[in-house]
């Protein structure tokens, strides 16, 4: 299985000091070689509006994310995949990013262009990577 990582975007309301939002980017792209029939994407994205962080003195605080959708599309095969695992450690990184992981994404031999998109309200951010699978 191939693991890819996408970095994400921040929301000014959650970040501090007027930091510019970071757009979704691919850490290991734009082209990645693979020999397996599946890729799993991991990464970071912006924190949706409506997210809440519990008030506590805990070293690590796990927040509740506001409404959003997050998914991946292999444009080569036309298949869509949900991104199901999300985690927001709201008292780290200025609370600006949340972490996620996709389901396995089927990749066929040759070039597979995969686009991940997160949407929350009127905000959307996307990133693409081409996974080139060798063999048959």
Domains of the chain by start residue, with CATH: 2-133 (2.60.40)
Q: Which structure tokens are listed for 41?
A: 């994407």
Instruction: Please report, in tens digits, the pLDDT of each residue of the chain (136 residues total).
Output: 444 444 333 333 344 445 667 566 666 778 888 889 998 877 888 888 899 988 888 888 899 999 999 999 999 999 999 887 788 888 876 677 888 888 889 999 999 999 999 999 998 999 999 999 998 7
Give the C-alpha separation, 56 to 53, whole Å.
Answer: 9
pTM: 0.78
Pairing label, strands 110-120, 69-74? antiparallel
Asked if residues 61 and 91 have their Cβ atoms less than 8 Å apart, the reply is yes
């Amino acid at each position: 299985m191939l693991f890819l990582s996408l970095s994400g975007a921040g929301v000014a309301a959650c970040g501090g000091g007027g930091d510019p939002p970071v757009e979704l980017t691919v850490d290991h792209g734009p082209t990645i070689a693979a020999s397996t029939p599946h890729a799993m994407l991991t990464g970071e994205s912006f924190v949706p509006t409506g997210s809440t962080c519990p008030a506590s003195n805990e070293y690590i605080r796990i927040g509740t994310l506001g409404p959003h959708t997050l998914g991946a599309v292999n444009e080569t095969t036309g298949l869509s995949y949900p991104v199901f695992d999300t985690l927001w450690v709201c008292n780290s990184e200025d609370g600006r990013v949340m972490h996620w992981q996709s389901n396995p994404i089927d990749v066929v031999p040759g070039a597979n262009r995969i686009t991940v998109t997160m949407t929350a309200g009127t905000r959307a951010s996307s990133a693409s990577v081409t996974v080139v699978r060798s063999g048959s």
